[in-house]
Chain A
């Protein structure tokens, strides 16, 4: 029987962007620069509703034209409220995916990732057929590292002093998981 629950966990769903409602929510979340930095390529700053619309359009264009990135809005299952996003950048020729999970609503920090990470690993290995998935984690988001390790990720690299945020330099951890490691974990938990 094929898995028909690729996009939902117990409390959250992965869904398309809602161009009507999401810009306002994301714009409010982006006042927290910890969230805004996931949206900004250069200078970290809050983005307006219109800027978010432009960001969404750019992402959807890239998804459609190149399939080099996949983007989902993360919502609560109960009321479909936007709480953040998930993105996978793909290097198809090597079956590698670089994952970004950003939660904008502090009430869901760590809670959402705990359900979203297993969900996206299943999608990455069983639908996208990736061999390796990796995630960059800033030192100040260390709780995400713990969740990644619980899901079989290994800390593959420590990039020293590569982030400047809130008056100081921070390290960034690069976590990686390979398909065989993930499959072994599934067998243990089955």
Chain B
């Protein structure tokens, strides 16, 4: 049986970016330095709405990324962004990145649900063999969410980050297609 609902989870659905709408939302989220410092290792910066819009438009139709907006299923609210990139080994591995925008929406299970949906997309549609991610030592909420979605610890990039006057580790996590099938396909068929 083929599902038409690959991109819909229990709490969220993944939809394409809309440059006009999302550039304003992204610029707003990025005013929060905690959001930026959880999201990646790049220098925390602000961008204008125009710059965000241009970035989204430049990446439309790109085969290098598969980025989505996360919307809450119940009220259609735009709550975050998630995407696969860094396709490696002739597209058998990708890195996933996820951010939930408003702190009010953190810790409600949206991220874990969105991660389950994008894994279904990555393994079931893109035929990936493995999905990787990195998460910082100071983001244990993220680590727990990724473990819940099925990711395993694959190592530690020791002292990778330099923030607030000290070095922090970056954890490497990953999930194999076989592990995902074991977790999700066996439970849905039983």
Contacts and interface: CB of A to CB of B under 8 A. Distances in A.
A138 to B, nearest CB: 9
Contacts of B10: none
Contacts of B161: 94
Contacts of A156: 155-158, 172
A189 interface: no
A23 to B, nearest CB: 24
A44 B43 CA distance: 32
Contact of B129 (A91, A93, A155, A161): A161
Q: By DSSP majority rule, is chain B's interface helix, strand, loop, or mixed?
A: strand
B154 A169 contact: no
Contacts of A43: 90
A169 B89 CA distance: 9
A27 B20 CA distance: 44
A132 interface: yes
A156 B91 CA distance: 23
A43 B88 CA distance: 9
A159 B41 CA distance: 20
A163 B162 contact: no
Interface string A93-107: 111100000000000
A108 interface: no
A163 B88 CA distance: 7
Q: By DSSP majority rule, is chain A's interface helix, strand, loop, or mixed?
A: strand
A154 interface: yes
Contacts of B41: 91, 93-94
Contacts of B155: 155-159, 174
Contacts of B160: 94, 96, 132
Nearest to B44: A93
A44 B157 contact: no
B75 interface: no
A25 interface: no
A135 to B, nearest CB: 12
Interface string B71-105: 00000000000000001111111000000000000
A130 to B, nearest CB: 11
Contacts of B89: 162-165
A174 B174 contact: no
A36 to B, nearest CB: 12
Contact of B156 (A157, A162, A169): A157
Interface string A119-141: 00000000000011010000000
Shortest Cβ-Cβ A-B pairs, 6 listed: A157-B155, A162-B93, A163-B89, A157-B172, A164-B92, A94-B162
8 contacts: A42-B91, A93-B42, A93-B162, A94-B160, A159-B93, A159-B174, A162-B174, A164-B129
Interface of A: 42-44, 91, 93-96, 131-132, 134, 154-165, 169, 174, 176, 178
Interface of B: 41-43, 87-93, 129-130, 132, 154-162, 167, 172, 174, 176
Given A159-B172, A164-B129, 13 more contacts: A42-B87, A43-B90, A94-B160, A94-B162, A131-B162, A132-B157, A158-B155, A159-B174, A161-B93, A162-B130, A164-B92, A176-B158, A178-B158
